[in-house]
Amino acid sequence: METLEETTWRAREWFEARVPRRADSAARSGKPWSVAIFPETSHVEERVQLDEARAWLQAKWSARLAGLDWPEAFGGHGLGRAYADAVSAVEADYDVPHHDLLPITTRLVAPMLRLLGTEEQKARYVGPLARSEIVCAQLFSEPSAGSDLAGISTRARHSPDGTWSVTGQKVWSSGAQFADYGLLLTRTDVDAVKHAGITAFLLPLDTPGVDIRPLRQMTGGACFNELFLDDVPVSDDYRVGNVGDGWKVATTMLGFERDASGDDTTLGGSWIQVLSLAAAMSKTSDPVVRPLLADVYARHLLAKVNVARDLSDRSRGLPRGPEGSMRKLQWVEGMVQISEAVSQILGPRLVADTGDPETFGWNSHVLGALGYRIAGGSNEIQRTIIAERVLGLPPGPRVDRGIPFRDIPTS
Ligand SMILES: Cc1cc2nc3c(=O)[nH]c(=O)nc-3n(C[C@H](O)[C@H](O)[C@H](O)COP(=O)(O)OP(=O)(O)OC[C@H]3O[C@@H](n4cnc5c(N)ncnc54)[C@H](O)[C@@H]3O)c2cc1C
């Protein structure tokens, strides 16, 4: 078997032969690395990005540089997390194809289904999801159920012929416009308490009655959608977990989501980019800018320490647990801090395209960073998790505890 060092060395050689390093890529294109947080591309361009990202993952898989920590039973290489982490660390140096739907599919849905799917579902979907041969969106949030996710009201009713009929609305569904399936949470029992009356399905998104509409963001792109479900027929074969056990499906996926949060240290702007901007604007000695730069740098170092600690915990087989909430907070606060620093450095140039290189582009960062304060559970909700599960503080009052869903007052 290849040693960890051999795999790391082989990964470096393989990436070097196929993709540009991040810095080289910026120099060759004549553009700075993008500091945007969300894509601002058209539907067609985004489709191409997704296809490239899928092809890239599959090429890595064939070269034994992806699926390293997946069991052989699911087409993986069965080598363990340390190998996967080592290859990811090398890959972070390269400008590789990426699309947000891939981590949702491969890091949230696939591992959840591996744990909670039926044997038939595992055999049919887990390998193809892990390799992104099929892609799946997360259909959790609704207009009145985000932080309070267990308050979802999309209804699934069981018909006498054994199928289900689903009616309701989902929102914020990242990448659903390109997905083959959606992991859907529905309310199946309004007489049970809210966490108990939920059932999950793997919904084929080409089913009649599913209407997916893109939502345009203030940054220009449209990577999210709202999704309307009108009497959508769903076979019971697509049910994931037992009827009424959908909350377990949700929390399992959310656990994987928090575990993955903050791993993408290449997203948006970096310390080096902020520093080079300050230098280009002759602001490195500015008494207002200097403390902001110091804060960004300190957080940059802390993020490195945290990554090293996570890698060490993982290599010892320790789960991340509620500490994932701390990492997510630190990661997002770092992005927001970068936004504040560049806003101070640039002043009005941030909002007016003066043609000066590396200035107006930060606009996308500043407008996008706030999105991650909300995504995957807002900062306030992460703080509540830390307070209750890490610090052991008493839980906040929950007025709907023990009440059937149908009796919970709605606004
Ligand atoms: C970039 C991005 C991608 C996303 N992708 C997906 C996706 O693919 N699939 C999906 O299903 N969802 C997705 N979401 C939705 C996301 O999970 C929700 O936006 C999030 O859970 C917050 O819900 P909400 O928007 O309804 O806000 P609300 O829950 O209405 O919250 C509004 C504000 O009130 C605060 N608040 C609410 N409750 C409390 C409380 N108990 N204590 C303190 N403060 C509170 C919140 O922190 C927030 O500041 C995405 C969101 C973003 C921003």
CATH number at residue 335: 1.20.140.10
Gap from CA of 96 to ligand 1 centroid (Å): 29
Assigned domain for 141 exists: yes
Question: pLDDT at position 263, please?
Answer: 55
- Do 320 and 280 lie in one domain? The reply is yes
Atom of ligand 1 nearest to the CA of 140: 11
Gap from CA of 377 to ligand 1 centroid (Å): 6
Range from 29-33, 83-87, 184-188, 279-283 that averages highest in pLDDT: 184-188
Assigned domain for 117 exists: no
Give the Å distances, CA to CA, from 368 to 94, 124, 171, 371.
23, 37, 18, 6
Q: Whose CA is nearest to atom 27 of ligand 1?
A: 146
Assigned domain for 253 exists: no
- Do 209 and 303 lie in one domain? The reply is no
Assigned domain for 403 exists: no
**Boundary residue ending a domain (41, 76, 99):** 99
Residue 298: pLDDT band with limits 50, 70, 90: very high
Question: pLDDT at position 327, please?
Answer: 83
What DSSP character marks residue 370? H
Q: Whose CA is nearest to atom 13 of ligand 1?
A: 172
- Do 91 and 181 lie in one domain? The reply is no
Q: Quick: pLDDT tens for 148-177.
A: 999 999 999 998 888 999 999 999 999 999
Instruction: Work out how many domains the chain is built from and give that number.
Output: 3
Look-up of token digits 């055999």 = 123
Q: Is 212 in the pocket of ligand 1 (CB under 6 A)?
A: no
**Strand 210-215 with 224-234, pairing:** antiparallel
| Residue among 172, 203, 328 whose CB has most ligand 1 atoms within 8 A, to mutate | 172
Atom of ligand 1 nearest to the CA of 138: 9
Question: pLDDT at position 400, please?
Answer: 87
Structural domain boundaries enclosing 291: 261-390
Mean pLDDT, the chain, whole residue set = 90
Q: Is 197 in the pocket of ligand 1 (CB under 6 A)?
A: no
Residue 13: pLDDT band with limits 50, 70, 90: very high
Statement: residue 259 has pLDDT above 90: no
Average pLDDT of span 216-235: 92
Gap from CA of 297 to ligand 1 centroid (Å): 29
- Do 385 and 265 lie in one domain? The reply is yes
Statement: residue 25 has pLDDT above 70: no
Question: pLDDT at position 161, please?
Answer: 87
- Do 265 and 386 lie in one domain? The reply is yes
More confident of the two residues 286 and 328: 286
Distance of CA 352 to the CA centre of its chain: 31
Q: Whose CA is nearest to atom 48 of ligand 1?
A: 378
**Boundary residue ending a domain (99, 119, 144):** 99
Q: Whose CA is nearest to atom 35 of ligand 1?
A: 380
Active site residues: 257
- Do 93 and 172 lie in one domain? The reply is no
Average pLDDT of span 200-225: 94
Q: Is 49 in the pocket of ligand 1 (CB under 6 A)?
A: no
Residue 399 DSSP SS3? coil
The C-alpha atoms of residue 134 and residue 22 are separated, in whole angstroms, by 28
Residue 198 DSSP SS3? strand
Atom of ligand 1 nearest to the CA of 380: 47
- Do 348 and 230 lie in one domain? The reply is no
Q: Is 146 in the pocket of ligand 1 (CB under 6 A)?
A: yes
Assigned domain for 186 exists: yes
- Do 313 and 235 lie in one domain? The reply is no
Q: Is 217 in the pocket of ligand 1 (CB under 6 A)?
A: no
| Residue among 108, 147, 329 whose CB has most ligand 1 atoms within 8 A, to mutate | 147
Q: Is 371 in the pocket of ligand 1 (CB under 6 A)?
A: yes
Question: pLDDT at position 151, please?
Answer: 95
Give the amino acid at 53.
A
Give the amino acid at 263.
D
Statement: residue 322 has pLDDT above 80: no
Average pLDDT of span 18-23: 84
Question: Terminal CA-to-CA distance of the chain, rounded, Å?
Answer: 60
Q: Whose CA is nearest to atom 23 of ligand 1?
A: 146
Q: Residues, the chain, total?
A: 411
- Do 224 and 315 lie in one domain? The reply is no
Assigned domain for 90 exists: yes
Statement: residue 274 has pLDDT above 70: yes
DSSP, residue by residue, 234-269 = E-GGGEESSTT-HHHHHHHHHHHHHHHTT--TTSS-
Those residues with Cβ within 8 angstroms of residue 305's Cβ, 6 or more apart along the chain or in another chain: none
Gap from CA of 143 to ligand 1 centroid (Å): 10
Residue 324: pLDDT band with limits 50, 70, 90: confident
